[in-house]
Each structure stands twice: as structure tokens, then as C-alpha cells.
A and B are shown apart, each in its own frame.
Chain A
Amino acid sequence: MPEGTVENLVKPENKATLADILKYHVTPGNLDVNILTKLKKLGQANNQDLQVEVVDGKPMIGGANIIGSVPAGNGIVHVIDKVLLPPAKE
């Protein structure tokens, strides 16, 4: 991310933007890596979609690689290798 992005996002006036970014990382479902390869896109909690591509048999989520997956009580946490920034809304 560009220099200063994080400092900027944690400012009180940018709380909504930060929430939007965080929600862009959340989708309903308990989707493992295998099923992610069958998806074309994911509907995220901020009301925008993330595109899913399959490269070398592995799913790339919004251009990010999954570098680890942790099963959790009510879902699964996929660790990815970059921050996903929501595209500007219409």
C-alpha cells in the first residue's frame, strides 16, 4: 500500500473507510481452497464483489495468493499475501 495509508486509515474520520476495507475481506460461507477454485467471484460483506481466478490450479482472490488456511469455529481464515482495496463505488 502507498506510504501513509495505514496512518491515514486509523484516523477517527476514516473509520468508515477502514470498516469498508475490512468488510471487503469477509464473505459468508465456509469455503475451503478446493471450493474456491470453482468460484468466479465472491460477494463480500461491504456489498462489493471480489473476482476469483484459478492460476496453476490454485485460487487467487482479487489478485492475492492464499498462503495459509486456518479452520475456525464458525468458518475458515485464509491468509493472503496482500491487502485488498475495494474499487471505487459507482
Chain B
Amino acid sequence: MKNLHKISFVLVLIAAFLMGCNNSNKSNSGALSGSAAEKVYVKPGDHDDYYAFISGGFSGQLAVYGLPSGRLFKVIPVFSQDAEKAYGYNEETKPMLNTSHGFVPWDDSHHPDISQTEGELDGRYIFINGNNTPRIAKVDLTTFETTEIIEIPNSAGNHSSSFVTENTEYVVAGTRFSVPVPQRDMPIKDYKGNFKGALSFISVDPEDGGMDIKFQLIMPGFNYDLSHPGRGDSHGWFFFSTYNTEEASTLLEVYASQNDKDFIAAVNWKKIEEYVNNGGGKKMPANYAHNVYSEETHMATSTMKKEVLVVDPTEVPGAIYLLPTPKSPHGCDVDPSGEYIVGSGKLSANLTIHSFSKMIKAIEEEQFDGDAYGIPILAFEAVNAGSVEQAGLGPLHTEFDGKGNGYTTFFISSEVVKWKLGTWEVIDRKPTFYSVGHLMIPGGNSRKPFGKYVVAMNKITKDRYIPTGPEVTQSAQLYDISGEKMELLLDFPTIGEPHYAAGCPADLLAENSKKIFKLEENKHPYAVTNEADTKVVREGKEVHVYMTTIRSHFAPDNIEGIQVGDKVYFHITNLEQDYDVPHGVSMIGANTSELLIMPGQTESFLWEPKQVGVWPFYCTDFCSALHQEMQGYVRVSPNGSSVPLKWSMGENIE
């Protein structure tokens, strides 16, 4: 076979993704059985069985879908302004987007996680992280509204977030990018040994859900990628995957892939909590925003916090260990029992599974393999439970069905692989279309998963939908996992680029979902709860309009005596007390969005009239048969005019 020397073999460097590496059983949609349609069909008027909260990625929001239908029900604005709902536009919610960098109207939302009690979903809140300007948000699952956002100091690229502990004692935020701590002017090349990675533990008040940074663990300058809580026996620990343990600061594509193994950091947060409660740690100056929305006043306030408690890991011996894990692990997923920690080396073909009980034993026996900046590294063999060999290419993330199986996404080989915990054998694999990122089983990050469906969230859509120009929306895929083999049921489009998602049975939330805000409980300072109290008040150049809406008129609906150069605040209370009867309002030329005011709620917008004339406003949400009649006028006179300030409804201004 000497002539073989003349045959050129090719080295193929594949960009972004490699489709069909394990495609021997690849089916296309034409091969789907007819029963798939029945399995996702929700009869008109019927309800879905599950909620799916899918991160909006670079939209900054959180989208709510039903499963199995894949229908989109709501986009909850979290980190980005949403003109539809006036979030970040109206006076009440602008403070929600305040940060130490000022008003930031956008973020990159990543990993939603539902609050838990005793390791099971309790459906009170859902948390989600903003990756870019590090923030953690809390959404109240009775109103499906963002009610709290806390900025994370000493962090950048808030990616290893926002996962909760077993009783929602903490929501955790780990920094993807290490940075100088505290921030300072220094050469980038001096990264190694000088930059730090903060892992923040944010306490959640068991009564009102209030968030507060309890402590930050100031770790070595690695990249902290994902994290998950221990549960069961491992409750009290938290696991963080790391990459770039090389501490490279340029061309990470190359220089952060040099070490055969990076780490999963195991953090005994209970031990650190105890240390902190006994006066441990150091308070350092900081500057970060804490924004809280009150359902009573329908207003948000933003407070700048000036201090944060930091903990040096070397000062709490026995609290932090590093578990060697091959090839820049991404996913760091803990099975429902809490025994197995699954590391997904994203450049690997294998999954690496660590054992919590082996880890505890290895710690007791001091089976160390050196240390990193004083943090002990446990010997790989002493903690490793096994690996799923050659399961696919480019594993990213694993969820569990509660029946002894793991389901892992493989980005490069575009597939979901089902495998068995303990024996590590591959049971089934199904292709995704295409290049899947995360996947979600409702309750899949808890002690009690609901192992009926898995949703795969794909990064690349290509030909799955009718084309919409160069940009095609990201696609999710729903698989039935109730049987031995997975079955692809449905494709459905998602907003932004979903990263992680969280899901739960519909029953858990549906009965608690708020229908209206009670007028008598409205404590907004500019609220008026009946038409008789409506008024217009001038305070110098500022004018406050106390207005109400009810089907189908504004009160007042005629206003005169406004002048060019005034700052006119419309404070509008929706007097309706019936479910799903919001009113909207918009004013010609207002440099902001409409308002969309829920029954019993008060919202405000600012209008700065620039032109003399008579200018209309109207209701933007079709509220009744006479919605088109729901309008009003404001007369704007020149600055300094003698036209008196007057208002009316149902009669002329004389």
C-alpha cells in the first residue's frame, strides 16, 4: 500500500458545529409518528400541563411557554426595557434598571431557577441572572413580574448563576470573567495571580424573599462557568465548574484549553456561613444597586449599597476543594439524590461524574493532588465515580428524569443522549436541530424532577422554519421521555437566545396567579381611587395629573393650562377590578412608551410638550366596545401664558 503515501488525508477544522457526527439513527420530521401531533395538541380552551420559563438570552427577558403545546404566553421583562409593558419606561419601574454604571436598559439573561423548599420546587419565585452587567433578578410567580434586582459587585460576566440552594437559603452568582478585586488601573498582562473570581451567596429572606449579599468568596482568577447546589446528603455544598485555570487573558480559544483538566470547585457554604456568622470575613467598600419593586406602592426604589462582605477561601480551611475535571467543563449538574456531580468537558467526548460520598471520604483521607492558591485539589481517582465514554461530542449540560437517568446535550454532535446513572451506559440518543445548548426537564434541577418531557434549546436554527432573512429565531425542541427511547414531538420558536430554562407543573402556579390588584390596597403616592378625587396640580414647571381609567373614559379627559416647557407627569390609576381588563395610555409626542396599567394599579409617564396646540391621548389596549371613544385632549399654551390650569370630564372647560 505504498501508494497510500500519495493520498492526502485531510485535517478538518469544523467551525461552530459539526452536524451528524452520530447520525446513524437520525430521523427527519417526516419520519415522526402521527401520535406526536396528538401528544402536543392542547384542545382550544384547555390548559397546558407545565409551565416552561425559558431565558430570553440577549433579549434580556424571560419567556413563559406552555408544555406540551410550546405556546408562548408571556414575555416577562427583566433586564431590558419593554415598551409593550412600559417596563423600564414608566416612572415606577425605571429604578429597576439602575446600576453602579447608571441606567442600563439591557442585559443578557441566562439561567432561570425556581425557588425550592426541601429540595422541591415551591413555585414562589423564579430567579434569573443578567450576564453582562452582573445582576440577579427575582420574579414573583403570583404576578409574573420582576420585583427585585440586585447588582453583584467584584464580578463580570455573571454566568455561573442564578441557582438556588435546597431551601432557597441562597441564590448563587459566580463570575465568568475574573477581574481585579477591587477594580483598579493595571496592565492586562498581569492577570495571572492578580485577578480574582467572586462567588456570591445572596441570601433570600424566607418571609418576603428579599435578597442581600451575605458573602462573596474571593476565588482564584479562573472563569466560573456554571454551578449547581448539592441536595440530600450534599445539601450545604455548592459546585462550580471552572475553565481557564490557565489564567489566560488573550485568545482563550487556545490558551484556556491547554490544561488537560480544569476544576469543579466544591464549596461548603454552610461552613462559610457559620464562619461569617461568627464574625469571619472582611467588609470591603463596594458600590452596587439594589432595586426593589413594591406591589403596594406599585413603585420601585433603587438603593446604592456601599459595602460587601468578602471571604478569603484560605481562611476557612475545609470549606473549599477543587475536583479535577477534564477539558474546560461547562455543565456542573447534580443528580436528584445529590450523590453525583456531572461535569461536561465541552471539548471532550466523555462525561465525567464525581461522587459526593467519595469526595467526603477523599477529604477525610486527605487524598490531595497539590493545591491551587492554597485551595486543596482532590486526587481525580479518589473523587471520580465514572464516566460516560464517547457519549457524543461537546457535552454541555445534563438534567435528570428522577428515574435514574441523565440527559445530556452535545453541542458539536447536535444530540441529546440519555444515559443511566451508576452504570454510565448510553441508553438512547436523538438528534437536535441544531447545535443544542442547554436542556430542561421540569424540576430537573431538584430532588423531584417531572420526567415526562425534555426541552432542548438549540443555538442554530437554519432550515427548521420558513426563512425570515439572515436572522432566524432560536428553536426549541420537545421530546417525550416517558418511555425507554426519547421521541421528538415538536419544534417551537423562542426569543433571544435561550440559555437555561426552568419548568414546573401548571398546578403549582396557576391557583396562586394574581388576577387584579385591590384598589383599597393601592399605596401609590399619586393614586386616586375614585373619579371625584382626580385633579391636576402645578408645582412650578412640574405638573402632576392624577387621572383614572374605567371602561371607557379617562378622568379628567380635557386639560387646559399646560405650557410649553412644562414637565407633565401623568399618574394613571386603573379603577377596574376585573381580571384581564388593563387600560393603556399614550400621549402624542411623549418621549417614552405607552403605559399598560393593570386593574387596581397606578403607573406614571412623563410628557414634556414642545409645541403649542391641542394634543390628544388615548387608550392603547382594546378595553371595551367603546375603546375607540376612550380619548382626551390637552391644550398646550406658550410658556408664560395666562390660560388657567383647569380640567374636566363630561363637561366643557369654560
- A residues sitting closer than 8 Å to B (CB atoms) are 1-7, 23, 25-31, 35, 38-41, 43, 45-47, 49, 61, 64, 66-68, 74-84
Q: A30-B15, A74-B14, A74-B17 are in contact. Are A40 and B258 (CB under 8 A)?
A: yes
Binding-face segment, B159-167, B181-189, B249-257, B585-593: B249-257
Residue of chain B at shortest CB distance from A52: B254
One digit per residue, 1 when the CB lies within 8 angstroms of any chain A CB and 0 when it does not, for chain B 50-82 equals 000000000000000000000000000000000
Q: A45-B412, A76-B15, A83-B9 are in contact. Are A6 and B1 (CB under 8 A)?
A: yes
> Do residues A77 and B1 form an inter-chain contact, with CB atoms below 8 A?
no
Bound CA–CA A46/B275 (angstroms)? 45
- What's the A-B contact tally at a CB cutoff of 8 Å? 102
> Do residues A28 and B394 form an inter-chain contact, with CB atoms below 8 A?
yes
Bound CA–CA A84/B8 (angstroms)? 11
Residue of chain A at shortest CB distance from B9: A83
Within the complex, the shortest CB–CB distance from B2 to chain A, in Å, comes to 8
Q: Which of A4, A7, A38, A43 contacts B347 (CB 8 A)?
A: A43
Residues in B whose Cβ lies below 8 Å from that of A5: 1, 4
Q: A28-B412, A45-B412, A47-B390 are in contact. Are A78 and B11 (CB under 8 A)?
A: yes
Bound CA–CA A64/B8 (angstroms)? 11
Q: Other CB < 8 Å A-B pairs besides A2-B1, A7-B1, A27-B11, 7 of them? A: A30-B14, A41-B257, A45-B349, A75-B14, A79-B8, A80-B9, A84-B9
Within the complex, the shortest CB–CB distance from B317 to chain A, in Å, comes to 34
Bound CA–CA A49/B328 (angstroms)? 14
Residues in A whose Cβ lies below 8 Å from that of B40: none
Residues in A whose Cβ lies below 8 Å from that of B11: 25-27, 61, 64, 66, 77-80, 84
> Do residues B347 and A28 form an inter-chain contact, with CB atoms below 8 A?
yes
- B residues sitting closer than 8 Å to A (CB atoms) are 1, 4-5, 8-18, 21, 251, 253-254, 257-258, 260, 327, 347-350, 390, 393-394, 412
Bound CA–CA A45/B10 (angstroms)? 14
Within the complex, the shortest CB–CB distance from B551 to chain A, in Å, comes to 56
Within the complex, the shortest CB–CB distance from A8 to chain B, in Å, comes to 10
- Tell which of A35, A47, A78 has the most Cβ of chain B within 10 Å: A47
Residue of chain A at shortest CB distance from B348: A47
> Do residues B4 and A1 form an inter-chain contact, with CB atoms below 8 A?
yes
Residues in A whose Cβ lies below 8 Å from that of B393: 28, 45
- 26 A-B contacts (beta carbon < 8 Å): A1-B4, A5-B1, A5-B4, A6-B4, A25-B9, A25-B11, A26-B13, A27-B14, A28-B16, A28-B394, A29-B14, A29-B253, A30-B15, A30-B16, A35-B254, A41-B258, A43-B348, A64-B11, A67-B8, A74-B18, A75-B14, A77-B13, A78-B11, A80-B10, A83-B9, A84-B9
Within the complex, the shortest CB–CB distance from A50 to chain B, in Å, comes to 8
Within the complex, the shortest CB–CB distance from A26 to chain B, in Å, comes to 5
List the 4 shortest-distance A-B pairs measured between CB atoms, nearest first: A30-B15, A75-B15, A75-B14, A47-B349
Residues in A whose Cβ lies below 8 Å from that of B253: 29
> Do residues B9 and A43 form an inter-chain contact, with CB atoms below 8 A?
no
Residues in B whose Cβ lies below 8 Å from that of A75: 12-16
Residues in A whose Cβ lies below 8 Å from that of B9: 25, 80, 82-84
Residues in A whose Cβ lies below 8 Å from that of B21: 23, 45
Q: A3-B1, A28-B394 are in contact. Are A78 and B13 (CB under 8 A)?
A: yes
Residues in B whose Cβ lies below 8 Å from that of A68: 8
Bound CA–CA A74/B257 (angstroms)? 21
Within the complex, the shortest CB–CB distance from B64 to chain A, in Å, comes to 33
Bound CA–CA A30/B15 (angstroms)? 4
Bound CA–CA A46/B327 (angstroms)? 13
> Do residues B349 and A80 form an inter-chain contact, with CB atoms below 8 A?
no
Within the complex, the shortest CB–CB distance from A21 to chain B, in Å, comes to 9
